[in-house]
Each structure stands twice: as C-alpha cells, then as structure tokens.
C-alpha cells in the first residue's frame, strides 16, 4: 500500500475529470494522500484525497465510494463534507487513481495544536476549555453513532481546528476512510467480555486504537468512545496518554489494569476522572455506550462542579499534581476509577501484538483444524414445520460411480448449471479453467479463457450464466467473475471469492475470507450474513437453492490437514454459523439437496447426508472417495470429484534439490529432526497415522495406530522423541518415541490443543485457543505428562523454540512486514532482527525452526529463505521443485532445508441414485 517514491509530485498539476486540479500535497496517512486542489468550474478550493496504489484499483474505488456514501448520510456542520469521488487513469502514473473530493477547511489539525503547546511547555487545559474545544467533536460523533456509523480512527490528526467567529476555533472531524455502517444488531449488542469477540476488525492507528481493534474483535460506538477519551486526556494534560512509541510497550499499556487518566498524568479534573477512566475500560461494556452518553456525563459533572465550586472553582490547568504521575490529594470514592476486574487484568498486553497480526496464524497453518465455535450445537430453526421436519430424507446409491472425465491433472468443484449441464474446474500445466459438459451430447467445451490467471470454484449464476473465482497471476486478490453458459467473454462482478448465486442474491466470501456477504442484484441488500471466528477463515461456500441455508468449511490455508469442520447456518436466523453439529469433512465442497432440507458432505470414504431440521445423519460408503459434490435438480444424479492433494518433499542446501522417497504418500507437511529425520502424517483407513523415517532412508515405519487425525509434529532437541497433535475426538497433544518401542504418551486431552514444539528436552509447548486471542494461549507441559501451565500472553504463533535458552520463537504479521520474536516463559518479548531478509517479508507457508533453535526457514515472495538465528543473518535458498505450490519449510540443525509441495490429481465421477 505504500506510495511510489515520485507519485506525490507527478500527481501535482493533474486535472481529475476535467474539474479538479491537484495543486500541492498537504498530508499523508496510511492509505491515502491529501492534496490542496481547486474546483475549476466553481473557482473554489477543495481537498483531494487520493488512495495509494494497490493491486486492485476497483477495490480502491469501492473504498472511496463507501467513504463518500457515509459522509453523505451525515451532513453535519462539524464533519467535513464529501463533494465527489471517482476513478481516473492518470497518464503520469500509468495507473488508475481512486479519489475523493472533500470540502476545503482552513486551519490546523489538533495534532499541530498539541505539538505547539508541548513545545512551549503548556501543562494542559481546564475542563471548560477542553469542552469548548472538543464539544463539536463529541456532537459530531454522537450524530455519527445515531446514523448507525462508527468512525474507528478518531485521533488528533483527524480533527481540524478551523477559525470561527470572534477569534474562536471550531473543530471539524475528518477522514471516514475506515468507518463502517453498522447493522441494527451490532449497534444494540455491546460485547460483554474483556474485549469484543466478533471479527469485524479494520485498519486503524495504533496510538488511538481501542483494545478490541488491537485484538481483531468487533468494533462499535464503544470503540469511538475509547478514542474520544484519549482525545480528552491529551487535551486536558498536553501529554501523550500512552507515553511510549515502542510497539511492545504500547500493547502492554493498552491491556494493563492502569488506565492513562488525567490524574495518572498529573492533572486533577475532579469527577471527570471517573468518567474518563470508565471510557478507557478494556471491556467495551464498561464504557459509556455512545458519544452522546459520554457527552451527557461530562456535561453533568461539569454542571455539578460549577454549582458546588466557589467563585472560580472550576478546575483549571493550574490544578497540576506532583510529577510522580499519581494524585497527591485524596479523591472522593465516587471520583475514583473503577477497579479493573481480574479477568481484564489477565488480558496481557502482548495479546494485542498477536491480535494485530490478524491472519498470520492462518497463513502459517496454525489453526486450520483446531478452532471451535462456542455457538449453538444445532442449526435447526425453532419455527421449522413439524410435519416437514419429520419426513425422512432419502439417500441411496443405485450403482457404483462411473468416471466421466479423463483429461487434466485435476477435474474438480463440479456443479449442475441451470440448463442441466455440468461445469467444473480443470487443472493442467499449472493453470486452471472452467469446462462445460453438454447435457445432450456429453461433449466437453472450455467455458473460460481468461488470460493471465486461473479460474476456480464455479457456482450457479444469474440467467443462464456461471459465476466463479478468478485469481490474476501473481496477485493475492481474487475477484468474482461471470460467464454465459453459451460461451463468450467473462466480466468481473465483485472483489471476493467463492461466489454462489441463489434466491436473487449473490453470496460470496469477502476478500479476506473472514465474512460471507450477500448482495441483491438490484442493490437493495448488501450485508454480511456470517463472520468467521477470530482464528479462522471460511472456505468452500455453498448456498441452498432458496438462499435459506449456507454451508462452508472452516479452516485457513490448506496445509494438508485431512479434515475440517463443516459450518452450517440459516440466513437471517440471527444465530452464528454452527461449526460443530455437522462434524468434520474430508472434502472440499458440500452440496445441498434439491429441496434445501439436507446437506451432503464427504467424510473419509463415505458420503454423509445431514438433515438440517433434526441433525439426523445417514452415511453411505462410496468408492472412489470423493472430495466435492454436486446434486442435480431432480435429485437422481450426483457428480463427485476425486481430486486429492499429492505431496512431494524435497531437501536442499542451496544447491541441488532432491525428492525424499520416504515421504511418498504423505498427506501433510513433515516435521524435520535435528539430523534430517522426518515425521509426517500418512493415510490410515480414513484417518491419519504418524510415520517416521531416518535421514536418507527410503523406508519408514508407522508409530501410531487407531482413529487419529495427526496434523502437526515436532522432534525433541535430541531427535529421540516426537510430539504430535491429534485432531480427532479424544485427541490432543502426545509424545511418542522415535524408535517406536513404546506407544504414545498423552500430554493433553483437548483436540483443540495444537502446534507442539519442544521448549527443552523435557518440556513441550503448544497453543490452546482462548477467546479474545488471535492465536491462542501458549501452555507448557512435561514431556511425560502432568498438569499444563499457561504462559503469559505472548505475540504470534509458535514456530519453534531455543532449547538452550528455554525461550519461544513466534511469528506475527505486521503491516510493514512479518516479524519474528523471542519470548521467555515469563512473557518478556523482543524482536529478532534478521539481516539480509526482505524488508517487506511475508511468510507464505507453514514455517518452523530447527529442533535446536539455531536455524529458521520460510517462503516469501515466491522464494525460500533461511536464517541463522545465532548470527541473525538471512539469505535466499534455491529450491528446485518440478511442480506444485510450497506449503511448508523447515531446516535441520545443520541448516539443510526441507520443504513440501503439493499439486492435485483426480477426475469426475457420476453416481445414480436418490439424493433428496
């Protein structure tokens, strides 16, 4: 998102849409640059806000349009108005530029005012002066909340002080670039936990962010109340509330019990102290619920103080306390800040550092299987017709499935289009496109030929068309496209993924796969119907024909885990998706019955029919095993794909890269021992077992038995034992001897416990999901069993440990590049510098350190990298894999790098029977 070096100057002098001349650059933020401009037709000054370059100009246009729409809803005298917006190709830049034209306001920002006062030694304003200055801001944000909008980025830079009459100034609120329009239920339901537990995070400024923003939780009016309280503190004291520019220290302070109230910064504000303290509470439910409520409390306390005080008795900036930062005079009990609850006290600061990382745990494969919802255990609607619910579903195969495709590496994601034809994705030669099978002639014809990208996940479209996902080559962003069944050019509909058209609505996954959106074709409805838990993403969206039911798998970047929860939910029910009742699926895409009363999913070598009203399940074995399903409208044909992920494991040391024969048939990423040993999951009767192979050996032995779903493993520092995660019911963390002499030893009993690593030779660390934490809590347990002990909240997801020091290695995502941190058992954290690594490093796969903690390897920018953590130096490593995408990488203690790659193989089969 960073602007190119010369963009600011090359844009000056440009005329947008023949109306707005760009004159000079005046300000810059994280996402945009603001210029002074001129409306040529009206001959008046304007402000022109231009978004910085991104991969998707249409997304930038959507962003400025959303900001303009929100400002149009407000029209408040203390809010800077939007005049126009658009997308213009600027020849000097060679790209489309999204822009918004705003009302020009002379003056300075509140940040400029505060900086000047600090430079002159000012020690704060009185409460009356503070209210004179900030009342317009409080009134403006109160109007914002009453319009159902949340600003989410209130800070001194976004408050303009404009000259007013009689030498006064009037504050105006700027920048609604990350504001959101709330749904009714959002505005009425204030989260009651330590931080809100939804997933509606956004871009924000760290210094003014509320705890729920840092933890990636749901935001609302309570979020703006927190930011307003910070503004009050800074105006009252002329001091920065948090008092630090260090990121780690800031995150600790935001979640610490002590709040940065005026008294703690040395200024006595009387009864306002308690109001500000509550407005700065970690718990949103403890704050005033809106800006209007905050304003009324401040006015009430100020009026009471004016009545009770002697002449001149309103507190002024002369009421300064000693420099200790604590009140020297005793306050009345009703003025004291409320005691922070023990639960909030436990909300450690570095939680936020983990939470701002957002999706890092998912992109590193940390929580693709183990996250669990705490929603209702059933999805049946309470008003389902009893007679209809009692009707049994019919599910029977009349004959074995027969193969209907033979070309390509993988034929997958089939659907029945409205005309009865079958549309699917064919992958071959590293690319993918949609193919249509004619229902009359059974001939195949390519349906898409989009240049420079890959098509995937077809779904029914509007009026004889098919929608699908399209990913341009070299880009992470995916767009929704549509193509006529009769053939012809495709066109882009939306930025997002996994579209599905049903009941007059387009359903799709938002660009970050954290929310399922619904949009009416006439524009009358555009909302989020479901959001993912904070540690998860949605995948493989399907919708019933009547648009009543939705099913999606819950996971993240597919790192080969053989099973994922299937989440199902009723649109408009007000209940979250249920990710427990359907259990796990080993497939990629489910299918609804033609009448929408049941969902069909694949599980190992069977197909399961789940009645939505009663949650009654019917299981039928099928061969070959399926990964995705489609059911014809008549309920008498089912098409299924057998596309499976095939893994290849390679090892290299910067030179030649060779495949490892022992890992042939692996069904997931390998763990690497100190001398290059391998431990990896293999298929075992519909489940997975843990296999072991010595370095260089072509053979392997299986170390576990039973119905296990083994997903992750880690070698002890000496390589004699392996800790592994079992995601099956009754699973957890186990340790097994590498020589296989003894069976596994159970360390924990919760299958949600995962990401095991060895802290030292006798202790294992792992992560357990915890509400409000993006990655979860790190626990340590003896390698022979016992009671696990939670460690202080630490940032990021585990990628290893340094046994010699007994410290943790964790990765977290940062807007300026992904980071590596080291943390002690006491929670002390510091960044690990990696000289030579790319400045915008993005870890793209599951990443792990060597068992001894000396080396680390990762993929970034399509390249493999390796770092020696003892010297702090990193360098690229050549990995020569013949095909497929990398999914994991880990070095051994000698620095050799082992990486796994995957590609898909399989064809389509048709089954006859009854599928209702």
Determine which helix (DSSP H) or strand (DSSP E) holds 790, and give its type and residue range.
Answer: strand 789-790
Identify the DSSP state of 585.
E
- 710: Cα within 13 Å, side-chain hemisphere: 31
**What's the pLDDT at 200?**
29
Instruction: Please check the confidence at residue 910 and state whether its pLDDT lies above 50.
Output: yes
Is residue 722 within 8 Å of 707, Cβ to Cβ?
A: no
Banded pLDDT at 66 (limits 50, 70, 90): low
Residue 241 — φ and ψ, nearest 5°?
Answer: -55, -45
Query: What's the average model confidence in pLDDT over 561-569?
Result: 77
Instruction: Please check the confidence at residue 188 and state whether its pLDDT lies above 80.
Output: no
Instruction: Please check the confidence at residue 101 and state whether its pLDDT lies above 50.
Output: yes
Query: What's the average model confidence in pLDDT over 196-213?
Result: 60
Query: What's the average model confidence in pLDDT over 612-616?
Result: 87
Any idea what the Cα angle at residue 756 is, between residues 752 and 761, rounded to 5°? Answer: 145
Note the pTM of the prediction, 2 decimals.
Answer: 0.49
Q: When comparing pLDDT for 596 and 97, which is higher? A: 596
Instruction: Please check the confidence at residue 346 and state whether its pLDDT lies above 80.
Output: no
Tell me, rounded to whole angstroms, the distance of Cα 688 from its chain centroid.
Answer: 29
Query: What's the average model confidence in pLDDT over 730-749?
Result: 91
Is residue 35 within 8 Å of 22, Cβ to Cβ?
A: yes
Instruction: Specify which residues 898 forms β-bridges with.
Output: 651, 890
Q: When comparing pLDDT for 71 and 504, which is higher? A: 504
- Summarize pLDDT for 302-312 with one digit per residue, the tens: 887 766 554 43
- Summarize pLDDT for 530-543 with one digit per residue, the tens: 887 544 678 889 99
Separation of alpha carbons 755 and 776, rounded Å? 11
Query: What's the average model confidence in pLDDT over 845-861?
Result: 90
- Summarize pLDDT for 214-230 with one digit per residue, the tens: 766 678 899 999 999 99
Query: What's the average model confidence in pLDDT over 580-605?
Result: 88
Instruction: Please check the confidence at residue 331 and state whether its pLDDT lies above 80.
Output: no
Q: How many CB atoms lie under 10 A from the CB of residue 23?
A: 16
- Summarize pLDDT for 409-441 with one digit per residue, the tens: 899 999 999 899 999 999 887 678 999 999 989
**What's the pLDDT at 195?**
35
Query: What's the average model confidence in pLDDT over 451-455?
Result: 81
Banded pLDDT at 889 (limits 50, 70, 90): very high
Query: What's the average model confidence in pLDDT over 159-170?
Result: 72
Residue 355: closest CA among 175, 495, 471, 201: 201
**What's the pLDDT at 16?**
87
Q: Which residue has the tokens 């040391």?
A: 653
Is residue 702 within 8 Å of 689, Cβ to Cβ?
A: yes
Q: Which residue has the tokens 């001091």?
A: 239
Give the rounded percent of residues in the chain with a pLDDT score beyond 90.
35
**What's the pLDDT at 10?**
65
Instruction: Please check the confidence at residue 330 and state whether its pLDDT lies above 80.
Output: no
Separation of alpha carbons 669 and 680, rounded Å? 6
Is residue 50 within 8 Å of 38, Cβ to Cβ?
A: no
**What's the pLDDT at 432?**
87
**What's the pLDDT at 721?**
97
Q: When comparing pLDDT for 299 and 184, which is higher? A: 299
**What's the pLDDT at 77?**
81
Is residue 629 within 8 Å of 863, Cβ to Cβ?
A: no
Separation of alpha carbons 20 and 9, rounded Å? 16
- Summarize pLDDT for 366-412 with one digit per residue, the tens: 222 222 222 323 333 333 333 333 344 578 888 889 999 999 889 99
Q: What is the mean pLDDT of the chain?
A: 78
Q: Which two structure tokens, joined as six digits, stand for 506?
A: 């387009």
Query: What's the average model confidence in pLDDT over 180-195?
Result: 45
Is residue 764 within 8 Å of 783, Cβ to Cβ?
A: yes
Q: H helices of 167-288, where?
A: 184-188, 211-214, 221-237, 247-255, 272-279
Instruction: Please check the confidence at residue 28 and state whether its pLDDT lies above 80.
Output: no
**What's the pLDDT at 458?**
94
Separation of alpha carbons 585 and 602, rounded Å? 6
Residue 563: closest CA among 362, 369, 366, 730: 369
Q: Which two structure tokens, joined as six digits, stand for 388?
A: 């209809």
**What's the pLDDT at 570?**
93
Query: What's the average model confidence in pLDDT over 68-91?
Result: 76
Separation of alpha carbons 373 and 498, rounded Å? 22
Instruction: Please check the confidence at residue 630 and state whether its pLDDT lies above 80.
Output: yes
- Summarize pLDDT for 117-138 with one digit per residue, the tens: 888 888 889 999 999 999 999 9
Rounded to a whole number of angstroms, the distance between the first and last alpha carbons of the chain is 49
Least confident of 180-189, 199-208, 744-753: 180-189
Pair type for strands 846-849 and 885-891: parallel
Residue 452: closest CA among 476, 479, 469, 473: 473
Banded pLDDT at 902 (limits 50, 70, 90): confident
Torsion 214-215-218-224 (CA) sign: negative
Least confident of 327-331, 655-659, 679-683, 798-802: 327-331
Crossing angle for the helix pair 221-237 and 291-308, nearest 10 degrees? Answer: 40
Q: Strand ranges (DSSP E) for 496-548?
A: 497-502, 505-509, 515-520, 526-531, 537-543
């Amino acid at each position: 998102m960073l602007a190119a070096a010369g963009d600011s100057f090359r844009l000056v002098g440009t005329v947008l849409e023949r109306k707005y001349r760009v004159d000079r650059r005046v300000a810059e933020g994280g996402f945009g640059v603001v210029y002074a401009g001129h409306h040529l037709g009206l001959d008046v000054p304007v402000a022109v806000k231009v978004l910085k370059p991104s991969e998707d100009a249409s997304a930038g246009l959507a962003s400025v349009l959303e900001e303009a729409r929100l400002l149009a809803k407000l029209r408040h005298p203390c809010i800077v108005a939007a005049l126009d917006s658009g997308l213009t190709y600027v020849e000097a830049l060679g790209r489309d530029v999204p822009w918004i034209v705003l009302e020009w306001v002379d003056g300075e920002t509140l940040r400029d005012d505060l900086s000047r006062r600090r430079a002159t030694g000012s020690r704060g304003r009185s409460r009356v002066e503070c209210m004179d200055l900030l009342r317009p801001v409080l009134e403006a944000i109160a109007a914002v909340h009453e319009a159902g909008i949340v600003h989410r980025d209130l800070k001194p830079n976004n408050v303009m002080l404009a000259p007013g009459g009689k030498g006064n100034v009037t504050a105006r609120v700027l920048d609604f670039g990350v504001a959101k329009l709330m749904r009714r239920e959002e505005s009425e339901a204030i989260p009651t936990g330590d931080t809100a537990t939804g997933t509606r995070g956004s871009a924000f400024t760290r210094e003014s962010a509320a705890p729920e923003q840092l933890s990636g939780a749901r935001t609302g009016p309570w979020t703006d109340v927190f930011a307003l309280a910070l503004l009050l503190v800074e105006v009252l004291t002329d001091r920065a509330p948090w008092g630090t520019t260090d990121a780690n220290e800031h995150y600790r302070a935001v979640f610490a019990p002590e709040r940065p109230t005026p008294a703690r910064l040395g200024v006595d504000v009387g009864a306002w102290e308690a109001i500000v303290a509550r407005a700065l509470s970690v718990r949103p439910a403890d704050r005033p619920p809106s800006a209007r409520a905050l304003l009324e409390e401040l006015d009430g306390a100020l009026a009471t103080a004016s009545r009770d005080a002697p002449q001149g008795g309103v507190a002024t900036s002369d009421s300064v306390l000693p420099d200790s930062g604590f009140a020297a005079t005793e306050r009345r009990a009703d003025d004291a800040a409320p005691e922070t609850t023990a639960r909030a006290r436990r909300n450690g600061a570095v939680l936020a550092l983990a939470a701002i990382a957002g999706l890092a745990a998912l992109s590193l494969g940390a929580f693709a299987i183990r996250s669990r919802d705490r929603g209702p255990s059933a999805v049946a609607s309470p008003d389902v017709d009893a007679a209809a619910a009692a009707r049994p579903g019919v599910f029977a195969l009349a004959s074995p499935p027969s193969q209907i495709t033979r070309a390509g590496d993988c034929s997958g994601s089939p659907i029945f289009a409205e005309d009865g034809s079958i549309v699917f994705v064919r992958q071959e030669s590293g690319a993918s496109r949609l193919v249509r099978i004619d229902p009359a002639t059974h001939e195949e014809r390519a349906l898409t030929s989009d240049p420079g990208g890959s098509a995937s996940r077809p779904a029914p479209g509007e009026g004889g068309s098919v929608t699908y996902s399209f990913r341009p080559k070299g880009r992470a962003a995916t767009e929704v496209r549509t193509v006529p069944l009769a053939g012809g050019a495709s066109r882009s509909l939306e930025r997002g993924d996994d579209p599905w058209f049903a009941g007059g609505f387009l359903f799709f996954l938002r660009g970050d796969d954290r929310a399922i959106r619904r949009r009416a074709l006439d524009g009358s409805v555009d909302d989020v119907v479901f959001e993912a838990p904070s540690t998860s993403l949605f995948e493989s969206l399907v919708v019933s024909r009547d648009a009543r039911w939705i099913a999606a798998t819950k996971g993240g970047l597919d790192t080969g885990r053989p099973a994922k929860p299937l989440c199902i939910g009723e649109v408009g029910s007000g209940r979250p998706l249920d990710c427990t009742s359907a259990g796990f699926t080993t497939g990629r895409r489910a299918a609804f019955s033609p009448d929408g009363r049941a969902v069909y999913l694949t599980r190992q070598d069977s197909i399961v029919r789940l009645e939505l009203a009663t949650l009654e399940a019917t299981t039928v074995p099928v061969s070959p095993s399926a990964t995705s399903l489609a059911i014809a409208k008549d309920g008498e044909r089912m098409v299924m794909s057998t596309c499976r992920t095939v893994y290849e494991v390679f090892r290299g040391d910067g030179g030649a890269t060779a495949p490892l024969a022992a890992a042939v048939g692996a069904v997931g990423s390998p763990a690497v021992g100190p001398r290059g040993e391998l431990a990896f999951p293999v298929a075992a009767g519909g489940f997975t077992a843990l296999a072991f192979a010595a370095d260089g050996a072509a053979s392997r032995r299986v170390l576990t038995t039973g119905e296990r779903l083994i997903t992750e493993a880690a070698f002890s520092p000496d390589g004699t034992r392996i800790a592994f995660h079992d995601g099956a019911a009754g699973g957890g963390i186990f340790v097994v001897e590498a020589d296989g002499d003894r069976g596994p030893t159970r360390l924990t009993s919760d299958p949600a416990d995962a990401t095991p690593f060895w802290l030292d030779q006798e202790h294992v660390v792992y992560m357990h999901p915890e509400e409000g934490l993006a990655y979860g809590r790190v626990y340590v347990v003896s390698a022979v069993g016992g009671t696990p002990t939670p460690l202080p909240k630490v940032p990021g997801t585990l990628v290893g440990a340094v046994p010699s020091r007994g410290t943790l290695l964790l990765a977290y995502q940062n807007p300026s590049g992904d980071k590596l941190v080291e943390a002690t058992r006491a929670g002390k954290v510091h960044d690990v510098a990696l000289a030579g690594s790319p400045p915008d490093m993005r870890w793209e796969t599951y990443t792990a350190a060597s068992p001894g903690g000396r080396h680390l390897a990762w993929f970034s920018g399509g390249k493999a990298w390796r770092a020696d953590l003892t010297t702090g130096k990193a360098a690229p490593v050549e990995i020569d894999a013949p095909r497929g995408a990398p999914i994991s990488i880990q070095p051994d203690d000698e620095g050799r790098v082992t990486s796994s790659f995957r590609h898909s193989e399989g064809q389509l089969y048709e089954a006859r029977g009854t599928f209702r």
